[in-house]
A and B are shown apart, each in its own frame.
Chain A
Amino acid sequence: MLKDITLGQYFPGDSVVHRLDARTKLVLVIVYIVALFQAQSWLGFGLVTLVTAGCVAASRIPPKTMFKGVKPMLFIIVLTAMLNIFYTSGTPVLPGWIITWEGISRACQMVLRIVLLISGTFLLTYTTSPIALTDGLEMLLNPLRRLHVPVHEMTMMMSMALRFIPTLIEETDKIMSAQKARGADFETGGLVQRAKALLPILVPLFVSAFRRADELAVAMESRCYHGGEGRTRMKQLRMGRADHIALFLGAAFLAAMIALKRLGL
């Protein structure tokens, strides 16, 4: 079922990670990514893995769900591993072999890096509702308004797009079911035939997407929406003590990673 797609889906919960301010989490994810790319040795990777595992545990998201998110990237992960194993020079595993110890080690580190990157960013979308996320983003990007960047409009569009992903998935599901009930076949046939089979889904989907966009625009206008100027919020984002502690820990983590890299460990 299409509904089972977990890519970037929010899992409601009440853990420490869920309660952190969206801005904190956004900053921490950037810190995390920078720190991750400082890791060069096994010691560094070990530290990042430990921190990631700690965060996942604190978020109470089941590890199974985290791995489900990694699954769609499996192809890229395997490809990266293969390339690194075969194209790294060094001491061969066996005399005359193309595979080297260095290659294996590089491949493992690359795979670990990708998996950690995905897990870290997914932790953000798993624990933060899309609305909080775009609100956080809007406030973080607010300084850009001085440069006449339409920050509010951009984040509004983003939150609308996010808001309508599940709706459109549901709609697609419904249309697919209806066409299947009329004997449409999406699973067999060659590439051209399958592409053609999508037409009975795409046409109704576009028609309804445009209709929905129209209705949404009317609904927003009739509630006096006129852009970001002077707009207030029902849910105010507030930084608390937990946020300050989290930011401090993030900074310490980044410093440790940079120090490890400088020391060549």
Chain B
Amino acid sequence: MAEIKAEGLTYVYSAGTPFEKTAIEDVSLTIGQGELVAVIGHTGSGKSTFIQHLNALLTPSAGRVLLDGEDINRDKYSRRDVKRRVGLVFQYPEYQLFEETVYRDIAFGPRNMKLPEGEIDERVREAARFVGVDEGLFEHSPLELSGGQKRRIAIAGVIAMRPEVLILDEPTAGLDPAGCAQLQENICRYREETGSTVLLVSHNMDDVARLAGRVVVFDHGRVVMDGSPAEVFSHAGRLLEIGLNVPRASELALALRKKGVPVPEDVFTHERLLASLLALREGRPC
């Protein structure tokens, strides 16, 4: 089991200098086992700072982070331990690749965990399979591959540690549409097969609407909305106000409502929008 709980989390950058800035303020959130949560927010809304607290890379200025009820910042050992249990994939993770071969780069995490060679090998192959990296690439240098492949290898490097919670900061940023779709499919499959909790930071609301079971919205360092995609995207106006996009379908539904077409508020996928429009045309309730 892995339940992550943040209690009154506050973080202040460069405290005591003219550059002091409160990145997140009093964030309380519980993420249950096996959830797929999307974290959305404007650039600088504090979402990246928030996720870095979840594996003790940042120590909160105030508040606590609990993993299965235990404070992860308890001591040096708990802080190290949590990095294995909560895997964090940064934005543009391909910039962290450094080894001579793809295989060794994926094995970096498991090797740091001081696992036996046999187990490392097993994990590397498993992680590569999850992200769709062919074993034929294992002996290549990671630096000579394409951007999309580099991204996959970097993600595999975190998955190889078999974290109970996987956090991905904009995993699809800068990928082509086909690459995006494939990576999302990989992430979903990973979650289904391993039952791990997945946290996804994203700007792409269409993806969020399609994938996530729960959406958390950050604005100015605070959680301003938290609920199912249907709940969150029914406040399309409010989301646009804080400078976020909404799924295309929501946008369209909002525009239709303004024109007087009674599309229900909880429409946020293309399928639902189509269904409700068809229903309206035939005069049925939707």
| Interface, chain A (partner B; CB < 8 A) | 3-4, 6, 11-13, 65, 174-175, 177-185, 199-200, 202-204, 207-208
Question: Do A174 and B161 contact each other (CB < 8 Å), given the known contacts A11-B18, A182-B109?
Answer: no
Whether B158 pairs with A181 at a CB distance below 8 angstroms is yes
Q: For B14, list chain A residues within 8 Å (CB).
A: 3-4
Q: Complex formed: what's the CA distance from A127 to B160 in Å?
A: 49
Q: For A3, list chain B residues within 8 Å (CB).
A: 13-14
Whether A183 pairs with B84 at a CB distance below 8 angstroms is yes
24 contacts between A and B (CB under 8 A): A4-B14, A11-B18, A13-B18, A177-B52, A177-B57, A178-B95, A178-B96, A179-B96, A179-B108, A180-B83, A181-B87, A181-B90, A182-B109, A182-B157, A183-B80, A183-B108, A183-B109, A183-B112, A184-B112, A200-B96, A200-B108, A204-B95, A204-B98, A207-B143
Whether B90 pairs with A177 at a CB distance below 8 angstroms is yes
Question: Do A12 and B96 contact each other (CB < 8 Å), given the known contacts A181-B90, A207-B143?
Answer: no
Interface size class of B (residues with CB under 8 A): 20 to 34
Interface centre among B14, B17, B80, B143 (most CB of A within 10 A): B17
Q: Interface digits, B1-37 against A, CB 8 Å rule (1 contact, 0 not)?
A: 0000000000001100110000000000000000000
Instruction: Give the nearest-CB partner of B110 in chain A.
Output: A183
Interface centre among B87, B95, B143 (most CB of A within 10 A): B95
* Nearest chain B CB to A80 CB, angstrom units: 29
| Interface, chain B (partner A; CB < 8 A) | 13-14, 17-18, 52, 55, 57, 80, 83-84, 87-90, 93, 95-98, 108-109, 112-113, 143, 157-158, 161
Q: For A200, list chain B residues within 8 Å (CB).
A: 96, 98, 108
* Nearest chain B CB to A17 CB, angstrom units: 15
Q: Complex formed: what's the CA distance from A68 to B112 in Å?
A: 35
Q: Complex formed: what's the CA distance from A12 to B14 in Å?
A: 15
Whether B90 pairs with A12 at a CB distance below 8 angstroms is no
Partner of B113, one of A6, A12, A174, A183: A183
Whether B95 pairs with A208 at a CB distance below 8 angstroms is yes
Known interface pairs A179-B96, A181-B83, A204-B96; 19 further A-B residue pairs with C-beta atoms within 8 A, sorted by A's residue number: A3-B14, A11-B18, A65-B17, A177-B57, A178-B95, A180-B57, A181-B57, A181-B88, A181-B89, A182-B96, A183-B83, A183-B84, A183-B109, A183-B112, A183-B113, A184-B108, A185-B80, A185-B112, A203-B98
Q: Complex formed: what's the CA distance from A158 to B90 in Å?
A: 32
Partner of A178, one of B17, B18, B90: B90
Q: Complex formed: what's the CA distance from A11 to B19 in Å?
A: 9
Instruction: Give the nearest-CB partner of B114 in chain A.
Output: A183
Q: Complex formed: what's the CA distance from A204 to B96 in Å?
A: 6
Question: Do A175 and B83 contact each other (CB < 8 Å), given the known contacts A11-B18, A182-B109, A184-B112?
Answer: no
